[in-house]
Amino acid sequence: MSASSLLFENKYFRSKKSRFPFFVTGAFSAFLLTGVLVLNLRLTSIFQNTYRGASLPNGALSVSEREGSVEELQKFLSEEKFVRKAECYERVLVHHVEGSSGNVLPFAYFAVPVKEEEQSPKGEIHRNFACGSFTEGEEVSFQAGGGKSRGRIAGVVPDPINGAPEWMTAYLYGNKEELQELKGEGEGEFYLTLWLDHPEADESQILKDYHRYFGKDFAGSVTSFQTIMHNYLYSYRLMGNYMVYLLCFLLAFVCLLILLLMNMELRTDQETIRTLKILGFTGAQIRLNYLRMYGKITAAGALLGGGGMAILLRKWLNRMFDGAGGIRISWISMLLPALFALGIVLLLHTLLLLIALHRISSLPLTEVEHEKTRFRVNHLCFRKCGASPKLLPFSLGMRDAASRRSETVFILVVAVLCTVVLLSGIFVLNGVFKREDHLAEWGFVHADIYVARKKEVTEEQAGLLAYLNRDTDVDYIYSGLTDMVSYQLEGEDAIRQVSADVYYRGFPEKEQYAFFEGGNPTSTDEIAVGINFAKRNHLRVGSVLYLLQKGEKKSYTVTGIYPSYRNQANSVRFFVEDIFSYFDSRMTGYYTIVLKDPHSQGRVIQDLSKKYPEFDFYPMTRSTSRTVNKMIPPVILSVCMVLLLYRMVLHFLVRRMDQDLEQNRDIQFVLGFTKRQIRRQRKVRFHLPELMGTLLALALSGVLVAWVLRPLANELGLMQIPYQPSLIGILATAAGILLAGTPGRIRRRRLDR
């Protein structure tokens, strides 16, 4: 064995404890990078595979009930060059869809093909309905036309965006002959589903083309248009941008972390490096041995961290998308990002180690420079503190912290990272719970009875509404309708289409945090708009919209801007005094009853069924969105891992500080220092950079909340983050970091003489 190998092998075995931080740093860096890469790549793949243009449409047209116009429009589209394929079907509302497994949907929509020779298109049911409820090929029965009919779920379509509860709308397709009897005169909606030759075209240009073509030849027959791809991918593009920012931040953090750690270790070895040069070892030999020494342990940590994240994410994503049309995350798709993260960590480790070795070996910090640093710090501290015995430990602690710049900056960086991650976790969890509360407030989750009307009977005519308003068991009723209406912005001549939600104004809006800006409309001349719709059209509270509905043009003043949960694209919301008159139009929606005591559901349904046989009353289960709930475990896991890392790093740094103080212990005792003063000195040396890091983290957390979390949350409609709770969260997180970083009891045996 050569002298170089022997020397470094001895060094290798003597420094196992000093190399442990490299293992932790490599593992944590690979863990974070793998997580970001997997989420970014897998979500991209899921969205693209879900809405790919090869099998799913690029646009949809909502057409009037006149079948003659529909047939003419189909003929026109078959001859149009920019339309590759078009399918037309009628959508019919059915009630009480019950699967062979016993699961029940209060209502759903069936699509009946218009053409006699047209085969039934592939059926779909959204992921949130399929999870634990319905499966592909399952036989279902449903109420329609006064009797029972049967159908089959022909397919399950993943729906990564829509976090709708399981009782909301699902699309079911069945045999044409069996469903033909569901079609009633003047009922249902006709939809044309289109595959375009230029799906990447700008939405405004496509809209312009459609209105030009259809407005000329089919005036009044085409009532709406929406681009499917754009609506579903809007939120993903926004999330993707923040994923890129997060990845850049993590890369910068990994570089800084590794560089600081190497500086700390190599400064300890600078005399060894100088001695090796005197003995004749070349710089290449020194660099090679250090790369071998630290590379092995870093690679082991990165492999463990990246592999662990891949295993955890695969299990979590498979649970998230369980039953989602066959989406399963393979090991290959998870391990490739983990290996890529491993390569990135090793590459950064190698480059930064070479840079640090070059600095240490070429420009070693001499004892004279050490003394200059100590003199400057001592002069500053003693001039401020004087000769007070009480302030002397504080002065010495500041001197030690300043002379060990790498350790000081290292604690500062780790405190910043932990504060930011913990704060993000707190706000994500807060947003998850707030989102659940908001969904419950709006009736999406919090509902007990679904009301199905029979033909030519309204709630107002039968007296059901008046009875429910007097019933002591009923908390409130909730009615929601959806339609595509034309709108016109103030000061513009162009007429566009937008999805409109009509709500019964008597529904109690209990919480104001649901609105991003403004408040709940209180009159029929006011309107609330979705935040994406408001942003795209530069709308603010006080803006005026003109809605063209039922042949009339009416102005609405924007009084509220709200997050949109069901549609991440365009939507507006307005309230009416009598929503049941809107059921006579071609709008579709649902009508639910919320009870004060959900346990009285069975009794109330029996009473209502006897008094109002014109209606069918179906029980509903108060459930929460599984998609939202499944976000909680990974967030909690991330927070716990960050706290664990923080404690490990602080333990390592305290141990290094104890080693340094051990060397000066006897001298301090000879000079008359008491054990209490020595402990205070160590606490000051440790807490000073920690406090500096926490203060810096407070500033960065404020920037994070104001510039990243609030815009992202408001765009996606996940949560609302007001500034006052944000400040409380920042201060609470900073206090938690300080408490978590407080070292345990000082080992008295280290100070015993």
- What value, to the nearest 5°, has the Cα angle with vertex 200 and ends 198 and 206? 65
Rounded to the nearest 10 degrees, how much is the dihedral formed by the CA atoms of 31, 37, 41, 42? 20
Half-sphere exposure in the Cβ direction for 536 (13 Å, CA):
17
Residue 35, both tokens: 């997580």
Q: What is the DSSP letter of 740?
A: H
Find the DSSP H helices in 585-674.
Answer: 601-611, 626-629, 632-663, 665-670
In the block, residue with structure tokens 């029929």:
524
Q: In what helix (H) or strand (E) does residue 475 lie, and over which residues does it extend?
A: strand 474-489
DSSP string, 401-430: HHH-HHHHHHHHHHHHHHHHHHHHHHHHHH
d(CA 207, CA 570): 14
Residue 345 has pLDDT above 70, yes or no: yes
- pLDDT, one tens digit per residue, over 286-303 is 777 777 777 788 888 888
Residue 274 burial (C-beta neighbours within 10 Å; 0-12, 13-18, 19+): middle
The candidate with the shortest Cα–Cα distance to 737, out of 648, 647, 654, 652, is 647
Q: Picking from 278-282, 340-344, 479-483, 606-610, which range would have the lowest pLDDT averaged per residue? A: 479-483
DSSP string, 16-37: HHHHHHHHHHHHHHHHHHHHHH
pLDDT for 98: 78
Cβ 443 vs Cβ 475: under 8 Å: no
Q: In what helix (H) or strand (E) does residue 474 lie, and over which residues does it extend?
A: strand 474-489
Beta strand 615-619 with 588-595: parallel, antiparallel or unpaired?
A: unpaired
Query: Bigger pLDDT: 158 or 232?
Result: 158
pLDDT band at 738 (very low <50, low <70, confident <90, very high): low
3 state SS of 720: coil
Which residues 6+ apart lie within 8 Å of 83 measured at CB? 77, 194, 195, 196, 197
Q: What is the mean pLDDT of the chain?
A: 63
Residue 322, both tokens: 């369980």
Q: Picking from 375-384, 496-505, 507-516, which range would have the lowest pLDDT averaged per residue? A: 375-384
pLDDT band at 736 (very low <50, low <70, confident <90, very high): low
d(CA 604, CA 619): 10
pLDDT band at 448 (very low <50, low <70, confident <90, very high): confident
Residue 566 has pLDDT above 50, yes or no: no
3 state SS of 544: strand
Rounded to the nearest 10 degrees, how much is the dihedral formed by the CA atoms of 613, 616, 619, 624? -140
pLDDT for 123: 44
Rounded to 5 degrees, φ, ψ at 711 are -60, -40
- pLDDT, one tens digit per residue, over 11-46 is 443 444 456 667 777 777 787 778 777 776 666 665
- pLDDT, one tens digit per residue, over 378-391 is 443 444 444 445 55
d(CA 125, CA 173): 9
In the block, residue with structure tokens 């994070």:
704
Cβ 731 vs Cβ 450: under 8 Å: no
pLDDT for 575: 75
Q: What share of the chain is helix, strand, coil (3-state, %, to 5)?
A: 55, 20, 25
The candidate with the shortest Cα–Cα distance to 403, out of 367, 427, 431, 430, is 367
List beta partners, residue 104.
Answer: 98
Which residues 6+ apart lie within 8 Å of 348 measured at CB? 29, 251, 254, 255, 258
pLDDT for 130: 46
3 state SS of 710: helix
Cβ 259 vs Cβ 355: under 8 Å: yes
Q: How would you write 651-685 as a 3-class SS string?
A: HHHHHHHHHHHHHCHHHHHHCCCCHHHHHHHHHHH
Percent of the chain with pLDDT over 70: 31
Residue 506 has pLDDT above 50, yes or no: yes
Q: Picking from 95-99, 111-115, 524-528, 571-575, which range would have the lowest pLDDT averaged per residue? A: 111-115
Is the pTM for the entire model greater than 0.85? no
Q: In what helix (H) or strand (E) does residue 502 lie, and over which residues does it extend?
A: strand 496-504
Count the helices and strands in the chain (H runs, E runs): 23, 18
d(CA 688, CA 709): 29
Which residues 6+ apart lie within 8 Å of 623 measured at CB? 165, 166, 167, 445
Q: In what helix (H) or strand (E) does residue 45 lie, and over which residues does it extend?
A: helix 16-50
d(CA 598, CA 218): 50
Q: Picking from 162-166, 337-341, 447-451, which range would have the lowest pLDDT averaged per residue? A: 162-166
Query: What residue ranges in 100-179 does DSSP mark as E strands?
Result: 104-113, 139-144, 147-152, 171-172
pLDDT for 684: 66
* Cα Rg of the chain, angstroms: 33
Query: Bigger pLDDT: 246 or 383?
Result: 246
List C-alpha distances in Å: 585 to 189, 231, 394, 484, 546: 11, 25, 78, 12, 20
